[in-house]
Amino acid sequence: MADTPNQYAIQDPLTQYPRPPFPRQPQEAPGSIADMDPRPDHGEESYRGFGRMEGRKALITGGDSGIGRAAAIAYAREGAAVAINYLSEEQAPDVRSLVDLIEGEGGTIVTLPGDLTDEAFCKKLIHDAHEALGGLDVLVNNAGKQTSQPSIADITTEQFDRTFKTNVYAMFWLSKEAIPLLPAGASIINTTSIQGFKPSDNLLDYASTKWAIIGFTKSLAKQLAEKGIRVNAVAPGPFWTPLQPSGGQPQDKVEQFGSEVPLGRPGQPAEIAPTYVFLATQEAGYITGEVFGVTGGNPTT
């Protein structure tokens, strides 16, 4: 995006990034960052690395765009080798531009496309990432499906099933397969949402999955504490990603997206990436079973 803010200079968070109203911009799911107005900031120009993840090996699902893309850029600039998963139909141009960016800066990125609603693929994904990276010590379960529907009567069984398989079942399959491969000191980071605490009426199935992720995170953290593996979650508020205009919200809500939070604007993916970095490092070595809200001022409790 033009005039990318310097994240490290003090500035007014109310005006740091674009504020609504935004133009209507319907897209077919899963959406593309190239067609968004304003263009999201994933940290391409704004994120500065400090070597906090040197030697780490991370798998990020939903890593081609939105929050996953921002986490991938941040991890790579912090010195980690990164593998990303995404749906095969998302390969161009978002994936290509991310690969060019990270490899152009001398980083390591492995692309592993495939459908997370398939249990066999999820199992294969973990082992492919482990082999390609030469190990695995960070798993970011970030991929999500969100489809706005005004009423429960409009949610088909197919939509409900795919939302749960993408958001919850995949997290279960991936975590279960990864745990035997993760060393002490490893980190699992799940993406939940403000919707898990304060659900919107038009996101019934999505909000239900995000509540499930909170419970999964807290329970698994207790199981894995004795192994030295930490499990935490990040709960974004309204973030400006392709998920929103490609069916995640109706177009009238896209026009005013983020206006309801105290800061009066949506968050940009670059603003949440440092939370994923923090939770992956030893700076968060005494933190497990927690949910970190990044919501523009809307409390999660």
pLDDT beyond 50 at 274: yes
pLDDT value of residue 1: 44
**Biggest CA pair distance of the chain:** 50
Q: Indicate the pLDDT class of residue 66, thresholds 50, 70 and 90.
A: very high
Radius of gyration of the chain (CA): 18
Contacts of 273 by beta carbon, 8 Å cutoff, 6+ apart: 42, 43, 47, 67, 70, 71, 73, 74
Nearest to 143, CA basis, from 164, 126, 127, 161: 164
Q: Which CATH architecture has domain 55-294?
A: 3-Layer(aba) Sandwich (3.40)
Q: Where are the domains of the chain?
A: 55-294
Query: Over pLDDT 70: what percentage of the chain?
Result: 98
pLDDT beyond 80 at 276: yes
Whether the CB-CB separation of 57 and 79 falls below 8 Å is answered with: no
* 187-244 pLDDT per residue, tens: 999 999 999 999 999 999 999 999 999 999 999 999 999 999 999 999 999 999 999 9
User: In 182-205, which positions are buried (b, 16+ CB within 10 angstroms) versus exposed (e)?
Assistant: beeebbbbbbbbbbbbebeebbbb
User: Bridge-partner residues for 191, per DSSP?
Assistant: 234
Catalytic residue check, 169: no
pLDDT value of residue 2: 45
* 68-78 pLDDT per residue, tens: 999 999 999 99
- Identified catalytic residue from 86, 206, 276, 286: 206
pLDDT beyond 80 at 3: no
| Strand stretches in 133-261, DSSP E | 138-141, 187-191, 230-236
